[in-house]
């Protein structure tokens, strides 16, 4: 199968490309610079330019590109970068897909459980409405930007991803050194829910979205049971065999992180109802196994 992937230099994109190629698939990686290899194609999401010739013959397009949520403090300029990188990039790729004489069978577009906002201790699935605030608003625009592909009859799936448990990147990758040093601890009250997923299961779920014709619209990519930050902290200490006695008070997080602290302290108890209903089987449904897998080696 020929599959196009954007965001292939990111944590999830790299692991997905590695997995697809290991199974013999032909992967085309869309990059924003000049292509430097035969498997690369050029696109410019801000200008809405996509090398449509490289999309020809693709059975699937997996669109994962977007500026990192936790890479910088949320200034007004960086918030616009977060929004524009997702909305404009998705719109550009969706229009390119829709314009093809023979479009792909499926367009899998990245999204996030941030769609639901702060749900407190209330569990939510894909039927829940969007929450309030910056991230829910971005997610709503992000998903709406894929409309050209959907209107063209392409099966369009939104991968609403939670916190990815990985050792080599992302938010979790930055947590490991802190906990290994014995200075990890709960954030704020620790009662906020974290919807997590192992990197292996994230990649397997994305491939499941490609291969499962009955799936379209939003699908939560999270482990079956979200845990509180307090429970995650205890698991990190248990697996790494380090103390987790320290606490970072909420006011300190607000000073250090600014508006980003709302995402860290917010609670999202998202469950993968549609993923489970479609027959997906998690390899790492529990947090201890997910942490151990992250420590073992890069996901295939």
Q: Alpha-carbon distance 76 to 142, whole Å? A: 18
Q: Mention every residue, 6+ apart, whose C-beta is less than 8 A from residue 252.
A: none
pLDDT at 73: 78
CATH architecture of 2-296: 3-Layer(aba) Sandwich (3.40)
CB 6 within 8 A of CB 43: yes
Q: Alpha-carbon distance 96 to 93, whole Å? A: 5
List pLDDT tens digits, range 221-268: 999 999 999 999 999 999 999 999 888 877 766 755 566 566 667 899
Q: Mention every residue, 6+ apart, whose C-beta is less than 8 A from residue 101.
A: none
The model carries a pTM of 0.94
Q: Which of 110, 104, 108 is nearest to 153 (CA)?
A: 104
List pLDDT tens digits, range 11-32: 999 999 999 999 999 999 999 9
Q: Alpha-carbon distance 156 to 95, whole Å? A: 13
pLDDT at 297: 64
**Residue holding tokens 């314009």?**
99
pLDDT at 259: 66
pLDDT at 169: 81
Q: Is 186 helix (H, G, I), strand (E, B) or coil?
A: strand
Q: Which residues of the chain have pLDDT under 70?
A: 71, 252-253, 255-264, 297-300
Q: Which of 93, 11, 8, 4 is nearest to 298 (CA)?
A: 11
Residue 159 phi/psi, 5-degree rounding, is -85, 90
Burial label, 40 (beta-carbon count in 10 A; 0-12, 13-18, 19+): middle
Residue 289 phi/psi, 5-degree rounding, is -65, -35
CB 63 within 8 A of CB 7: yes
pLDDT at 299: 47
């Amino acid at each position: 199968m020929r599959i196009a992937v954007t965001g292939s230099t990111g944590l999830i994109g790299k692991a997905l490309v590695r997995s697809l190629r290991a199974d013999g698939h032909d992967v085309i990686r869309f990059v924003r610079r000049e292509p430097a290899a035969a498997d690369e194609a050029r696109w410019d999401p801000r200008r809405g330019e996509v090398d449509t010739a490289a999309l020809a013959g693709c059975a699937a397009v997996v669109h994962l590109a977007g500026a990192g949520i936790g890479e910088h403090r949320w200034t007004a300029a960086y918030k616009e970068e977060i929004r524009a990188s997702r909305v404009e990039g998705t719109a550009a790729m969706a229009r390119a897909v829709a314009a093809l004489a023979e479009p792909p069978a499926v367009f899998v577009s990245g999204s996030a459980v941030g769609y639901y906002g702060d749900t407190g201790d209330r569990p939510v699935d894909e039927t829940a409405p969007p929450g309030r605030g910056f991230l829910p608003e971005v997610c709503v625009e992000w998903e709406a930007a894929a409309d050209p592909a959907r209107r063209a009859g392409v099966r369009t799936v939104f991968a609403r991803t939670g916190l990815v448990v990985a050792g080599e990147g992302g938010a979790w990758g930055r947590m490991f050194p802190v906990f290994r040093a014995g200075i990890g601890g709960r954030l704020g009250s620790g009662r906020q829910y974290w919807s997590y997923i192992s990197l292996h299961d994230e990649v397997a779920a994305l491939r499941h979205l490609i291969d499962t014709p009955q799936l379209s619209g939003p699908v939560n990519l999270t482990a079956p049971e979200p845990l509180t930050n307090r429970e995650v902290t205890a698991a990190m200490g248990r697996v790494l065999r380090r103390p987790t006695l320290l606490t970072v008070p909420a006011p300190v997080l607000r000073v250090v992180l600014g508006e980003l602290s709302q995402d860290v302290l917010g609670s999202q108890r998202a469950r993968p109802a549609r993923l489970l209903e479609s027959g997906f089987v998690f390899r790492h449904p529990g947090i201890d196994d997910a942490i151990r897998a992250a420590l073992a080696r890069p996901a295939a």
